[in-house]
Amino acid sequence: MTSQGVRTRNLLWLALGVAVVIALPLVVKSSFAIDIFIRILLFSFIGVAWNLMGGYAKQLSLGHAAYFGLGAYTSTILQIDFGISPWIGMIAGGVVAMLASLPIGWLCFRLRGPYFTIATIATAQALMLIFLKFRDFAWGAEGTTIPNLGSAPLMMQFETKAAYYYVVLGLLAVGLAITYLIERSWMGYYLVAIGEDEDAAEAIGVNAPKIKRDIYLISSFLTALAGTFYTQYIYFIDPATAFSFSISIEAALVSIVGGIGTLWGPVIGTILLETTSTLLQSWLGSSIGGVQLTVYSLILMAVILWRPTGLMGMMREAWQRYVSRKPARA
């Protein structure tokens, strides 16, 4: 097949996929199912944001909850204290997250490998502790509920779950589009070069500190959008949810399981992990704590030990085996 043909085929698949996800809430009416779809889209989006920095540039952060939380708190404070719409608050949260990523990045990027990972954990935990401590400023440990206005699309509040579904679908589309564009730009190549060998990349003239700073800005901005959306969706915010370590974990987990540093990896990874978790819950009930993460960690270990390229790598290999078995066409 010619490369033109491959591109046409890929576009057709993409169009089909888009049609299916847009039609999904029109066909599936169960709010339980839509809730799961929303979780899948949300964590795919967080994974996509993480993957830009963690996947392509291999800056393995376990502190992205910092930006999720900053996004969530910025829009909530603007909404409750100043009556500003979360749509504006969402962008404001993204900007706050970008501003925060500058000093955090300045600190953490001086470190490599595991030092970097530990430093990112510490910054996210420190932010959580700050929000727990300062109650006059942001409700302290009890958190607060978001006033329910009923149907208020301008305040990012909707009557149907389907509407939330489309909002988060839009976010994911933006995240994937940004990843697609970066992957094909000079920046994408620089990121991969830094991920492969930072010293070698610098030796051939890649300005690694600047590239890392820029991708961190983009990654933290997107993660903050997810924070605002999540708070609006569950109508509640407290430091333990907004800065939850499990957000940082899941962002990295879905990307690694799906295929680190690939466009669709985080999406595929989230679909697998969230489906597994839903099946487990319907099978065992949610009464026993720890089941979900036990299974997640086993999947993660299996991927690391046997398929470090994740599900995307497995699918690519399977596809190549299938193609090579077919007789070549002229």
195-225: b (≥16 Cβ within 10 Å) or e: beebeebeeeebebeebbebbbbbbbbbbbb
Contact call for residue 291 and other proteins (CB under 8 A):
yes
Minimal CA–CA distance to 253: which of 273, 278, 280? 273
Q: Report how far apart, in Å, the C-alpha atoms of 281 and of each of 31, 184, 292 are.
A: 16, 40, 8
Q: Where are the alpha helices (DSSP H) in 184-309?
A: 186-196, 198-203, 208-234, 239-242, 245-258, 265-284, 291-306
Contact call for residue 70 and other proteins (CB under 8 A):
no
Site for other proteins (CB under 8 A): which residue of 301, 318, 319, 323?
Answer: 301
Contact call for residue 12 and other proteins (CB under 8 A):
no
Q: How far is the CB of 116 from other proteins (least distance, A)?
A: 9
Question: What would the two tokens of residue 138 be?
Answer: 């942001």
**What is the distance between the alpha carbons of residues 73 and 93, in angstroms, rounded to a whole number?**
8
Site for other proteins (CB under 8 A): which residue of 28, 162, 249, 280?
Answer: 249
Contact call for residue 135 and other proteins (CB under 8 A):
no
Q: How far is the CB of 288 from other proteins (least distance, A)?
A: 6
Contact call for residue 296 and other proteins (CB under 8 A):
yes
Nearer to other proteins, 107 or 176 (CB): 107
Contact call for residue 57 and other proteins (CB under 8 A):
no
Compute the 3-state secondary structure of the chain and give helix, strand, coil in percent, each to the nearest 5: 80, 0, 20
Q: How far is the CB of 122 from other proteins (least distance, A)?
A: 5
Q: Report how far apart, in Å, the C-alpha atoms of 125 and of each of 70, 122, 297 are.
A: 12, 5, 21
Helix (H) or strand (E) holding 237: strand 236-237
Site for other proteins (CB under 8 A): which residue of 52, 53, 97, 121?
Answer: 121
What secondary structure letter does DSSP report for 235?
A: T
**What is the distance between the alpha carbons of residues 214 and 31, in angstroms, rounded to a whole number?**
39
Q: Which residues contact 73 (CB under 8 A, 6 or more apart)?
A: 93, 131, 138, 227, 237, 242
**What is the distance between the alpha carbons of residues 22 and 240, in angstroms, rounded to a whole number?**
33
Contact call for residue 273 and other proteins (CB under 8 A):
no
Contact call for residue 288 and other proteins (CB under 8 A):
yes
Q: How far is the CB of 313 from other proteins (least distance, A)?
A: 13
Count CA atoms closer than 13 A to 161's CA, side-chain side. 16
Site for other proteins (CB under 8 A): which residue of 29, 133, 184, 210?
Answer: 133
Contact call for residue 256 and other proteins (CB under 8 A):
yes
Contact call for residue 111 and other proteins (CB under 8 A):
yes
Nearer to other proteins, 225 or 260 (CB): 260
Site for other proteins (CB under 8 A): which residue of 31, 184, 308, 319?
Answer: 308
Contact call for residue 240 and other proteins (CB under 8 A):
no
Contact 93, 74 (CB under 8 A): yes
Nearer to other proteins, 25 or 310 (CB): 310
Q: Which among 122-130, 159-167, 227-235, 270-278 is the span making contact with other proteins, rule CB under 8 A?
A: 122-130
Contact call for residue 114 and other proteins (CB under 8 A):
yes
Q: Which residues bind other proteins (CB under 8 A)?
A: 58, 60, 62, 107-108, 110-111, 113-115, 117-119, 121-123, 125-126, 129-130, 132-133, 249, 252, 256, 260, 288-294, 296-298, 300-301, 304-305, 308
